[in-house]
Amino acid sequence: MPVSARRARRGTAAALAVMLVAVLMALLGTILAPAPVLALPQVDVDVDPSPEGGASDFIDDVIDEQLMVNRICFAMNARNSIPGGQDAFVELTYIPPSTGTATLAIYNILDQGLLGGKLPPPDDFGYLCTDAGVQAGMCPEVGLVLFRNATADGTRPPHAPLFTKVLKFKEVTLPYPVRYDVTVTGLYCMIGMPLGGFDEDAEVMATIKYVNAHGLLPAVDYPKLPFYGVTCLVYLGVFLMWMAKSALHWNEILPVQKYISGVIGFLVLETATNYWYLSNWNTHGEQSWALLFLSAIMNSARNSVSLFILLIVAMGYGVVKPSLGDDMKKCQLLAAAHLVFGALYAGFTLKQSDHKGFGILLVIIPLAITLTLFYVGTLSALTATTQHLEMRRQHFKLAMYKNLWRLLFFAGLNLVAFFVVNSVWFSKRDDVVFLARWWRWRWLLVDGWLNLLYTVCMLAICLLWRPTSNNARYGLEELVSDPLEDEFELDVPDLFDQHAEQYPGANKRRGDPLAEQTVVFALDSDTDDSDDDVTGPMHGGAAANGSPTRVALASGMGQAAAHLRSRSPSPMRGGGGRVAPDGKY
């Protein structure tokens, strides 16, 4: 095996290994990635009250843990962060059968260090106000969540207003709303819990309404709305330009370009559906299950169809091979399996829920297998097709496939970067300052990164395979060689005459050697003279043997010049070659 071939195979194996590891790491990163900070639509807390004792008995060593258990955190966009936005607020409505007494606190997550305050001995420090604290004037009401006075402690003021309140359901009429106005964009936490140790058991039920400056869509998901809107417009513009170019060069359109036309049109519908789904959620405050299902199916179909087309293109369909035979059925079955598993996975990720659990492995493992098969099959086929084109000296097609290889390598590197960023985010999931600073970019790890990478790759493919007047260079008609690559000149005027005189019986003994070649030579002048001017003994031998060789002599500058052009035995070339009984040229 030549050294160059061995090096090519080694390089291909290394690239396959890198891409396979990248895919698996990206999928693993999706599993390990922290779920976005979510706001629960309804809070149902039922904590057994203390069997005896007063409110001060409720302050013990586990109060911090109890506060965290009864805490939910959410992101909010204030009015000044959204152009033309509305007032943002959080409204918690207590509903029946809430009974007893409950405490409520709302604060910016950056102010979490201010939780708790000084209390009289023997407590010294606590998170809820006690009887002793009220008597000592350290807090106003029993059961109130305490915050330290940051200004008095000589530290910075709170990042946002601190809210704390005690509710006695005997004294209010249910449903009872409590509103907190959001004036600063950021992450907020709400602590709502029943208080034990009073006259009766406590049970709390409430609904929460989050109104952001942009609407009812969660703030962590809001960047997806303009993202899908802009992406839809981009795809629509590309689709219109693609169809215009196709109309101009309709007779030269290749089968692969027809597939790409359908994919671009489908992408317009897919991104429009995602935008519709998020816009409906932003308006009504609830996810539409019908739109969610439709969006999941279309997202999975987009990925499956794109990978399918990429695979058959890598195998040379429409460029090197007119048909893939049984391999086409295998590709279709793989695409169908990927569609099913992709739809299930998309349903998990699109639904607002914590999908970090191992239950998603039941869906993501088969999805990882089909995706890996697509990548490995595509790269293997791309390598084989590239080597075939190199052997056949198909430079135009070879350049196209090399660009496709570079594009896939770029996508693989981005998948590795995606895994690294997911890993960093996962390691910082408990860092309050990190979350408060970077929560606005959480959507990139959930949806944005991979969709943006897909868009870039799709635009690159559209640029490489755009309809032009030179489409014939990539079609099956130009399979043997490029016409311009094999043209050359011979400045030996009597070469053929000398050969004929020296070997007068060569053609008679062996037949015409050109008849057995894959390249047919034609020697003609730069003028429009007919074959009536053709002379020379070689012409007679060629005609006797049925060879299409034609010899024409032209004179110029006192010296004869023969121009030798090689012609591929292509059906697109007139008089180029002969068809053998087996159908080969």
Average pLDDT, the chain: 71
Tabulate helix, strand, coil % of the chain (nearest 5): 50, 15, 35
* Per-residue pLDDT at 574 exceeds 70: no
Q: Sign (positive/negative) of CA torsion 329, 330, 331, 337? A: positive
Q: From CA 517, how far away is CA 421, in angstroms rounded? A: 57
Q: From CA 349, how far away is CA 510, in angstroms rounded? A: 72
Q: Sign (positive/negative) of CA torsion 278, 284, 287, 290? A: negative
Position 350 confidence tier, pLDDT thresholds 50, 70, 90: low
Give tens-digit pLDDT for 507-517: 444 443 333 33
Average pLDDT over every residue of 229-254: 89
* Per-residue pLDDT at 269 exceeds 90: yes
Position 164 confidence tier, pLDDT thresholds 50, 70, 90: very high
Position 471 confidence tier, pLDDT thresholds 50, 70, 90: low
Average pLDDT over every residue of 212-217: 93
* Per-residue pLDDT at 71 exceeds 70: yes
pLDDT of residue 128: 86
pLDDT of residue 225: 93
The CATH fold assigned to 3-36+220-478 is Rhopdopsin 7-helix transmembrane proteins (1.20.1070)
pLDDT of residue 45: 33
Lowest-confidence pick of 176-180, 212-216, 377-381: 377-381
Position 474 confidence tier, pLDDT thresholds 50, 70, 90: low
Position 240 confidence tier, pLDDT thresholds 50, 70, 90: very high
Position 282 confidence tier, pLDDT thresholds 50, 70, 90: very high
The answer for 431, left when phi > 0, alpha when psi is -120 to 50, beta otherwise, is beta
Q: From CA 379, how far away is CA 4, in angstroms rounded? A: 19
Give tens-digit pLDDT for 294-335: 888 888 888 888 888 888 888 877 777 767 778 888 888 888
Looking at the DSSP bridge assignments, the partners of residue 42 are 207
Q: Which amino acid is at 442?
A: R
The answer for 4, left when phi > 0, alpha when psi is -120 to 50, beta otherwise, is alpha
DSSP state of 86: -
Alpha helices in 249-325 (DSSP H): 255-284, 289-314
Average pLDDT over every residue of 235-250: 90
pLDDT of residue 216: 92
Position 359 confidence tier, pLDDT thresholds 50, 70, 90: low
Nearest to 531, CA basis, from 551, 559, 561: 551
Give tens-digit pLDDT for 7-41: 445 554 444 444 444 444 444 444 333 333 333 33
Radius of gyration over every alpha carbon of the chain, rounded to an integer in angstroms: 37
Q: Which amino acid is at 550?
A: R
* Per-residue pLDDT at 540 exceeds 50: no
Q: Which amino acid is at 453?
A: L
Position 525 confidence tier, pLDDT thresholds 50, 70, 90: very low
Residue 325: exposure state from Cβ atoms within 10 A (0-12, 13-18, ≥19): exposed
φ/ψ of 300, rounded to 5, equals -65, -40
Q: From CA 448, how far away is CA 8, in angstroms rounded? A: 35
Looking at the chain, the domain(s) classified CATH 1.20.1070 span 3-36+220-478
Lowest-confidence pick of 325-339, 355-369, 433-447, 453-467: 355-369
Instruction: Find the helix or strand (DSSP H, E) in which 193 lies.
Output: strand 186-194
pLDDT of residue 25: 44
Nearest to 213, CA basis, from 76, 79, 84: 79
DSSP state of 491: -
